[in-house]
Amino acid sequence: MSRKNINIGLFGFGCVGYGLYEVLQKTPGLKANILQICVKDKNKERPIGNEHFTFDKNEILNNENINTIVELIDDADAAFEIVKTALKNGKAVVTANKKMIAEHFEELLELQKQYKVPLLYEASACASIPIIRNLEEYYDNDLLESLEGIVNGSTNYILSRTAKDNVSYAAALKDAQEKGYAESNPILDTGGFDAKYKLLILLAHAFGIVLKPDDIYNIGIDKIGDLELNYAKEKGYKLKLVAHAFKTGKHKVSAFVAPRFVKPNDKLFNVDDVYNGVVLETAFTEHQFFVGKGAGAYPTASAVLSDISALSYDYQYEYKKMEANKRLQFNNEFSVNVLLKYPVESLTKIKLYFNHINELYQNNTEGYLIGALDFSHLKKLNSIEGVSIIIESVEQNPLKKLEININQIFELNEIN
């Protein structure tokens, strides 16, 4: 099969945009050239000459010599307008913008169908790990039972550094920003939103199910304090922000994002710093484990490059599982074992949500408990002032009700 020449109009020349420019210089075998670059800031100094740049998006979108748009800007709304126009104008698109994709997934599917042009976005989830294309091409839907992963590099970097190097949360976040890992609004990382957007994209390719961001509940790492970090250290666990998706029945899938204690025998245990890791469970192979850098200029640019290369062979996602699996429904009927930190005055209210409490420790101001509850209660609990929640494990059987009277098993101790 002969390769098509790819003439690129690039939007954005930040960390990833410049990374792509450099990576393309080093891969001359790929017949891909950046013809024009659109940027916003007229006064910013840039490492290459002004003749490469335009400030008018239409100059690129209407340029007939450009057959491919690579969209690497920060603003998800502006990105959607660019991608929409590009597809309407018959140009193939490569994007890394997970927020934009997650917020407009259905419209983007429609646009691809209507204008018969490909949209590829391998870089939008787990940067250097080729997870989307693997899910899309390799796994037949019935075989895939679950997917769980560390899909956000910044939070993994922050949690690794605070645990390992005794660095403060604020200093680790600043470091992640300086290294180009974090979003420009870092609450997207620390609040678990970025991981949620990525999970939404992975769900579409893993199970053929299309959700809206609000369907997936996300808890971030922003409320984690010393108590949880010390608890993890004492038990020999690591704290990780984990995206979960799993079947809870033949036609049911559940998914959420939350911080979790990861034990040493878990494949995700040694996925540290800016690395991402995804564990797939299938009917016959048990576990498969993908790992690679999850953020930063070159890891992200390498996934963009791979999409550009795929376009030169006319590759496009076929979304086969969406057709095959129309009966699959999203539901959140399962329970979780958690560690929950609380201010003492809210204990009476909190107790009501639990099916089971194993341990409870408190002093005059705060306490923590370990227990099981229906997942559907997490949102209400997490909105209580001063509460922070870490997942210990997931009970995938939604019907299991644990029948222990919590009043009989309270043990009140001092927190050290």
| Order of strands, sheet of 68-71, starting from the edge strand that comes earlier in the sequence | 53-54, 32-38, 6-11, 68-71, 92-95, 119-120
**CB-wise, 158 or 350, nearer to ligand HSE?**
158
Whole-number Å distance between alpha carbons of 217 and 391: 13
**CB-wise, 73 or 182, nearer to ligand HSE?**
182
Distance of closest approach, residue 205 Cβ to ligand HSE, in angstroms:
16
Whole-number Å distance between alpha carbons of 269 and 259: 13
**CB-wise, 67 or 128, nearer to ligand HSE?**
128
**CB-wise, 194 or 307, nearer to ligand HSE?**
194
Whole-number Å distance between alpha carbons of 227 and 212: 34
Which two three-digit tokens encode residue 324?
């095959």
Which two three-digit tokens encode residue 14?
């930040």
**CB-wise, 122 or 183, nearer to ligand HSE?**
183
Q: Which stretch binds ligand HSE (CB under 6 A): 49-57, 82-90, 181-189, 250-258?
A: 181-189
Whole-number Å distance between alpha carbons of 331 and 398: 10
b/e burial code for range 334-360 (CB count within 10 A of at least 16 → b)? bbbbbbbbbeeebeeebbebbbbbbeb
Distance of closest approach, residue 14 Cβ to ligand HSE, in angstroms:
12
Burial of 22 per CB tally in 10 Å (0-12, 13-18, 19+): middle
| 152 touching ligand HSE, by CB under 6 A | yes
**Which residue is at the shortest CB distance from ligand HSE?**
154
Positive/negative CA dihedral, 155, 157, 162, 163: positive
Q: Among 73, 82, 127, 253, which residue sits at the site for ligand HSE (rule: CB under 6 A)?
A: 127
Q: Among 122, 136, 189, 266, which residue sits at the site for ligand HSE (rule: CB under 6 A)?
A: 189
Instruction: Map residue 293 onto helix, strand or coil.
Output: strand
Phi, psi values for residue 32, rounded to 5°: -130, 125
Q: Among 181, 237, 246, 354, which residue sits at the site for ligand HSE (rule: CB under 6 A)?
A: 181
Distance of closest approach, residue 173 Cβ to ligand HSE, in angstroms:
11
Where do runs of H (alpha helix) occur along 116-242? 131-137, 153-164, 169-178, 187-190, 193-207, 226-235
Stated length of the chain: 416
**CB-wise, 122 or 366, nearer to ligand HSE?**
122
Q: Closest by alpha carbon to 141, among 199, 204, 198, 206?
A: 206
Distance of closest approach, residue 343 Cβ to ligand HSE, in angstroms:
31
**CB-wise, 95 or 388, nearer to ligand HSE?**
95
Distance of closest approach, residue 304 Cβ to ligand HSE, in angstroms:
12
Whole-number Å distance between alpha carbons of 115 and 113: 6
Distance of closest approach, residue 356 Cβ to ligand HSE, in angstroms:
34
Catalytic residue among 98, 198, 238, 341: 198
Distance of closest approach, residue 2 Cβ to ligand HSE, in angstroms:
33
**CB-wise, 153 or 220, nearer to ligand HSE?**
153
Q: Among 97, 154, 218, 302, which residue sits at the site for ligand HSE (rule: CB under 6 A)?
A: 154
Q: How many residues bind ligand HSE (CB under 6 A)?
A: 11
- Rule CB under 6 A: which of 191-230 touch ligand HSE? 194
Whole-number Å distance between alpha carbons of 164 and 240: 13
Distance of closest approach, residue 97 Cβ to ligand HSE, in angstroms:
9
Q: What is the DSSP letter of 3?
A: P
Q: Which stretch binds ligand HSE (CB under 6 A): 86-94, 182-190, 324-332, 350-358?
A: 182-190
Q: Among 183, 228, 307, 366, which residue sits at the site for ligand HSE (rule: CB under 6 A)?
A: 183
Q: Among 149, 208, 259, 294, which residue sits at the site for ligand HSE (rule: CB under 6 A)?
A: 294
- Rule CB under 6 A: which of 295-354 touch ligand HSE? 295
Residue linked to tokens 């963009």: 304
Q: Closest by alpha carbon to 214, among 174, 257, 177?
A: 257
198 flagged as catalytic: yes
Q: Which residues of the shown chain bind ligand HSE in the complex (CB under 6 A)?
A: 127, 152-154, 181-183, 189, 194, 294-295
Residues annotated as catalytic are 198
